[in-house]
Amino acid sequence: MIVTIDGPAGAGKSSAARALAQLLNFEFLDTGSMYRAVALAALRAGVDPRDEPALSVLVAGLRLELPSGGQVLLDGEDATSAIRTREVTAATGAVADSPSVRGRLANMQRTIAEGRNVVCEGRDQGTIVFPDAGCKFFLFADPNERARRRQREMAARGESVAWETILRDQRVRDERDAARDLAPMKPAEDALLLDSTGLSPEEVVEAMAARVRQRMGGSS
């Protein structure tokens, strides 16, 4: 069974997907980390993230491995932390617009999920990559609260960034993700819309688990 969780940055998708996967004994796939890894590879290779032909060559030759839920290996090297910097985050938006990158990563995501029980998290999981997923969520939250959560996450990693800066970056990213021609961020028609504003992570996961169990039991 595939469970998809899509939605904007900072809505709590990653922690919800991870906790839900653990609760259900499913695997967890963070697809944003794959786009980030391609952006990191482009930056390292000096490839302009808006240069589609160059990106297409780069992504075709890339060795990307996700040995466990959160870990990312890029050409054999552990890139789990390196993909979370602000520089990589900024380059990822352009990389995610690339048709060749989206095509290759969507294929990889389907291959990874083949025959498994997986919670997949991203922007296009319920709409494009897994349109037949057994259970779909679109998780969102008030933008101010999302920016505050991001700021806390960054502070935990030792990065101190002004809330206003995070809010501005977040708005740019949201607009870009939603306006993308290919696979724009939007709820699948059959997704359950969940607003995580004011909810604890446990409450979000509880609401999701209840829905998944209902779906697994065969009722709608």
Of 4, 69, 74, 10, which Cα lies nearest the Cα of 45? 74
Regarding 131 and contact with ligand DC (CB under 6 A), the answer is no
Kindly tell me which residue out of 173, 194, 205, 212 binds ligand DC, with binding defined by CB under 6 A: 173
* Closer by beta carbon to ligand DC, 31 or else 151: 31
Tell me how far, at minimum, the Cβ of 213 lies from ligand DC, in Å: 25
Kindly tell me which residue out of 38, 122, 126, 137 binds ligand DC, with binding defined by CB under 6 A: 122
Total residues interacting with ligand DC, rule: CB under 6 A: 14
Tell me how far, at minimum, the Cβ of 217 lies from ligand DC, in Å: 28
Estimate to the nearest angstrom the gap between the alpha carbon of 62 and the chain centroid: 19
Contact 18, 120 (CB under 8 A): no
* Closer by beta carbon to ligand DC, 122 or else 205: 122
Distances in Å between the Cα of 56 and the Cα atoms of 59, 61, 95 are: 5, 9, 10
Of 10, 7, 12, which Cα lies nearest the Cα of 201? 12
Kindly tell me which residue out of 42, 124, 133, 208 binds ligand DC, with binding defined by CB under 6 A: 124
CB atoms within 10 A of CB 46: 7
Using the contact rule CB under 6 A, the part of the chain among 61-69, 74-82, 116-124, 153-161 near ligand DC is 116-124
Regarding 191 and contact with ligand DC (CB under 6 A), the answer is no
List binders of ligand DC among 13-32 (CB under 6 A).
31-32
| 137, containing H or E segment | strand 135-140
Binding mask 74-103 for ligand DC (x = CB under 6 A): ------------------xx--x-------
Pairing of strands 77-78, 64-65: unpaired
Tell me how far, at minimum, the Cβ of 105 lies from ligand DC, in Å: 7
Alpha helix (H) residue ranges in the chain: 13-24, 31-45, 52-60, 86-95, 99-113, 143-156, 163-179, 201-216
Q: Which residues bind ligand DC (CB under 6 A)?
A: 9, 31-32, 35-36, 92-93, 96, 122-125, 173, 177
